[in-house]
Amino acid sequence: MIYVRRDPTLIPENVLRVAERVQAKLEALPPEKRSEFIEKKSHVWRSFARYLAKMSYGKCWYSESDCVQSFKDVDHYRPKKQAKRSDAEADEGYPWLAFSWDNFRLAAQRSNQINRDEDTEESVGKGAWFPLMQGSKLATWDDRCVAEERPVLLDPARITDVRLIEVTATGKMGPTRLCLGEYERTRVSTTVKLLGLDLPGLVSARLRAMRFVQEVVELVEKNKTAAELGEAASAFVSTHLRADSQLDMLQRLTLPDQPFASAARAQLKLMGYEDLCLRLEQAGLAA
């Protein structure tokens, strides 16, 4: 999962105005008419896809997948019609957020739609899932207290949520050291399962990115060892095997516009090169 800074300046004014007009019509409808109306207006949220993609450099906000050969959905973080809270519980969800772009997330279809994990045969994909922690307040049409809810699913638009999850040495996703309690750990494990963040293809892609980083770091270390052998070796390394270009490349791999940058950052941390991970303010880029 990657943090994505939402930028309304990337969305044309006319696209925002259309969503506002449709929202006004939804607000005026009786309850029994809302679901049908929302379905008929699906083009409204789909029109945001290209602008959401700009905010994440074309990558899925959940999986960081940048595969150009598959479509990406405009997911409603809080489901627009039905919200599945558990295997036995579901309700009408959050219809008042159907056309709210603050509720939109760009999602690869395997994270957004129900499918199967090839290794475990388990069902994965967000679908209508939106569980809340036990005891959480529940927002409704008449009481839209979403800020008081305690969602289980991590939100890529919240930096505090993204800080709880990271790529591990195995290429799978796991909790960071900032997960200080059972609540946070439950959020991470449930998010990984429901969004299919450890599907085999994703794990393989992360491991490829991590292996490349490892190879470059090992080359830097070999060059450093060679340079320490004497003046002649040091001069050769300085002239022909410049470490600064290799270090620059490693830093570029940690930028948010790079494929699986979170895996590159994880590998650098594992190898003790955490200082090479560019912070967003250093990069001058949003994730």
Identify the three-state secondary structure at position 59: coil
- Give residue 232's pLDDT band: very low, low, confident or very high (50, 70, 90): low
- Give residue 230's pLDDT band: very low, low, confident or very high (50, 70, 90): low
Average pLDDT (23-44) is 97
Regarding whether 55 and 40 lie in a shared domain, the answer is yes
Regarding whether 167 and 229 lie in a shared domain, the answer is no
Give the pair of three-digit tokens for residue 278: 């560019």
What confidence score (pLDDT) does residue 225 get?
82
pLDDT in tens, 40-85: 999 999 999 999 999 999 999 999 998 766 778 999 999 999 999 9
Domain boundary among the residues 197, 229, 244 is at 197
Q: Which residues pair with 204 in a beta bridge?
A: none
The single-letter code of the amino acid at 63 is S
The candidate with the shortest Cα–Cα distance to 193, out of 125, 130, 106, is 125
- Domains of the chain: total: 2
Q: What do you get for the CA distance between the two ends of the chain, in Å?
A: 11
Domain boundary among the residues 197, 216, 236 is at 197
Task: Examine the pLDDT at 111 and tell me if it is beyond 70.
Answer: yes
Regarding whether 188 and 85 lie in a shared domain, the answer is yes
Task: Examine the pLDDT at 231 and tell me if it is beyond 70.
Answer: no
Domain of 261? Answer: 202-283
- Percent pLDDT > 70 in the chain is 91
Residue 85: count other Cβ atoms within 10 Å of its Cβ.
17
The answer to whether residues 195 and 111 touch, using CB atoms and an 8 Å cutoff, is yes
The DSSP-derived string for 235-282 is HHHHHHS-HHHHHHHHHHHTSTTSTTHHHHHHHHHHTT-GGGS--HHH
Regarding whether 247 and 118 lie in a shared domain, the answer is no
Domain boundary among the residues 152, 167, 197 is at 197
Regarding whether 236 and 272 lie in a shared domain, the answer is yes
- Give residue 228's pLDDT band: very low, low, confident or very high (50, 70, 90): confident
Task: Examine the pLDDT at 283 and tell me if it is beyond 90.
Answer: no
Regarding whether 20 and 112 lie in a shared domain, the answer is yes
On whether residue 2 sits in a domain, the answer given is: no
Average pLDDT (143-167) is 96
Q: Which residue has the higher pLDDT, 231 or 107?
A: 107
Average pLDDT (116-139) is 89
Average pLDDT (221-246) is 65
Euclidean distance between CA atoms 17 and 66, whole angstroms:
29
Task: Examine the pLDDT at 233 and tell me if it is beyond 70.
Answer: no
Regarding whether 265 and 193 lie in a shared domain, the answer is no
On whether residue 14 sits in a domain, the answer given is: yes
Task: Examine the pLDDT at 139 and tell me if it is beyond 80.
Answer: yes
Strand pairing category for 72-76 and 104-108: antiparallel
64 phi-psi bin (left φ>0, alpha ψ -120 to 50, beta other): left
Euclidean distance between CA atoms 149 and 132, whole angstroms:
7
**Residue 234 backbone dihedrals phi, psi, to 5 degrees:** -65, -40
